[in-house]
Amino acid sequence: MNSQSGIVEHMNEAGELLLHIDPERVPAWAAALRATLAEMPLRIWPDRGDPDQIRYALLWKPPPELFDGLHNLQVIFSVGAGIDHLLSCTTLPAHVPVVRMVEPVLTAGMVEYVIYNVIRFHRRMHEYDVQQRQAQWQVLPQVTAGDLTIGIMGLGVLGEAVASMLTKMNYRVTGWSRSRKSLPGVRSYVGEPELLKFLSDAQILVMLLPMDETTQHILNKGTLAQLPSGACVINAGRGGLIHENDLLNALDKGHISCAALDVFETEPLPEAHLFWRHPNVTVTPHAASLTNPVTAVQFVAENIRRHQNGKRLKHTVVPTDRR
Ligand code: OXD
């Protein structure tokens, strides 16, 4: 065995990594993976090479046929923070661990997006924008951060980071989640029984929940009505969390004064959708926090090395989330 074949055998033992992502993102991800995981051959869908060699898969919205014959697949990584794009894939192998993307740059991007919109709504910048277009010089009343309650639905890694930043900025912060959380300065509400109370205080509501059958349309006519009059909504979780027509009605009636929406039931948001032209809605194209290939690949590489060394993977999806 020459040294060349020795290397090949070692690589085969470690297996190969399969990448599936939107075509325009492939070059940056492939470059980052080749730089950080140089020892691991990279396959880019639809080229799977010998499917038996695939041990790891890094995926965004995989097609069902991607998993055919991947008998040796050992870990599935999500390119994004959300994993609903994997769980909704009918062929996702039930026995293979799924790992969420959790890394500081992705978290920081989400904190920036939410804080930007909280301040914009709190300091009424969206109203000053309108006034400027009408050359209208009018000072609006100013509320201090400590007099404003920001309610965060979903206190996972992203929700917790947002909550922590908001508390540092002196906002009153509440959070709603499946289990009780003990976060400094954050009032925790739990489950169905405490949902209405949580909503009734949330002057700015931040949606960062995962999408599943329990959270679909959780913000609807009934729950929107529980928010204080004039509340603002920020959705950076998933479009399906909100019943879009109910939100439009609440905006038209003025019960909800403004919304910043980054995610939608149908993406890209159809050209004719009323959100595009609603005066009190800000639309961004699912861009609140884009996964940065260079830093994200560090997280993937660390987890692959942990896996190869028999250590526990970080940020695997718990079985109850995989129902
Ligand atoms: C997501 C992401 O999961 O963009 O939506 O990270």
Q: Are residues 278 and 179 in the same domain?
A: yes
Q: Which atom of ligand 1 is nearest to the CA of 85?
A: 3
- Domain co-membership, 165 together with 86: no
Assess whether 51 and 123 both reside in one domain: no
Angle (CA) 307 312 313, round 5°? 65
3-state helix, strand, coil in the chain (%, to 5): 40, 20, 40
What's residue 87's pLDDT?
94
d(CA 199, CA 227): 5
Range of the structural domain that residue 310 is part of: 3-103+291-322
Ligand 1 centroid to 3 CA: how many Å? 42
Question: Are 203 and 186 within one domain?
Answer: yes
Instruction: Give per-residue pLDDT as tens, 285-309.
Output: 999 999 999 999 999 999 999 999 9
pLDDT of 12 reads 52
> What is the pLDDT averaged over residues 125-150?
98
Closest C-alpha to 98, from 43, 59, 66, 45:
59
Same domain, 213 and 307: no
182-226 pLDDT per residue, tens: 999 999 999 999 999 999 999 999 999 999 999 999 999 999 999
Instruction: Tell whether 160 and 301 lie within a shared domain.
Output: no
Residue 316 has pLDDT above 90, yes or no: yes
- Joined tokens for residue 62: 């995989």
CA end-to-end span of the chain: 47
Long-range contacts for 265-269 (Cβ within 8 Å, ≥24 apart)? 265/239, 265/240, 266/239, 267/239
Q: Give me the CATH number covering residue 135.
A: 3.40.50.720
Nearest residue by C-alpha to atom 6 in ligand 1: 80
pLDDT of 180 = 96
Q: Give the residue-averaged pLDDT of 265-282.
A: 98
Residue 314: which of 51, 100, 104, 141 has the closest Cα? 100
Reported as a pLDDT band with limits 50, 70 and 90, residue 244 is very high
Q: What is the pLDDT of residues 51-110, one digit of tens each?
A: 999 999 999 999 999 999 999 999 999 999 999 999 999 999 999 999 999 999 999 999
Question: Per-residue pLDDT averaged across 31-36, rounded?
Answer: 98
- Residue 260, CA atoms < 13 Å, CB-side half-sphere: 21
How far is CA 150 from each of CA 194, 219, 262, rounded to the nearest angstrom? Answer: 16, 16, 18
**pLDDT for position 13:** 72
Which residues share a beta bridge with 281? 259
Q: Flag whether pLDDT at 9 surpasses 60.
A: no
Question: What's the domain count of the chain?
Answer: 2
Q: Which residue has the tokens 């959270």?
A: 215
Instruction: Give me the pLDDT at residue 1, please.
Output: 33
* Chain centre distance of CA 198: 22
Q: Are 207 and 198 in contact (CB under 8 A)?
A: no
Q: Are residues 145 and 122 in the same domain?
A: yes
Q: What is the dihedral of CA 73, 58, 152, 104, to 10 degrees?
A: 120
Helix (H, G, I), strand (E, B) or coil at 178: coil
Distance CA 171, CA 149 (A): 6
Residues of 107-141 as b/e, b for ≥16 C-beta within 10 angstroms?
A: bebbbebbbebbebbbebebbeeeeeeeeeeeeee
| Same domain for 223 and 127 | yes
Pairing status of strand 204-207 against strand 186-190: unpaired
Residues 168 and 228 occupy one common structural domain: yes
Atom of ligand 1 nearest to the CA of 83: 3
What is the pLDDT at residue 3?
A: 35
Does 6 have pLDDT greater than 80? no
- In Å, the largest CA–CA distance within the chain is 81
pLDDT of the residue at 14: 84
Q: State the amino acid at position 37 in one-letter form.
A: L
For ligand 1, atom 2, name the residue with the nearest CA: 80
Type of residue found at 245? N
7 Cα–ligand 1 center, Å: 36
Pocket perturbation via mutation, ligand 1, pick of 79, 83, 105, 263 by most ligand atoms within 8 A of CB: 79
Per DSSP, 125 falls in state: H
Predicted local confidence at residue 322, as pLDDT:
64
Q: Are residues 60 and 21 in contact, defined by beta-carbon separation less than 8 angstroms?
A: yes
What was the pLDDT predicted at 318?
Answer: 77
If asked whether residues 214 and 272 sit together in one domain, one would say yes
pTM to 2 decimals?
0.93
**Do residues 141 and 218 both lie within one domain?**
yes
Do 113 and 242 sit in the same domain of this protein? Answer: yes
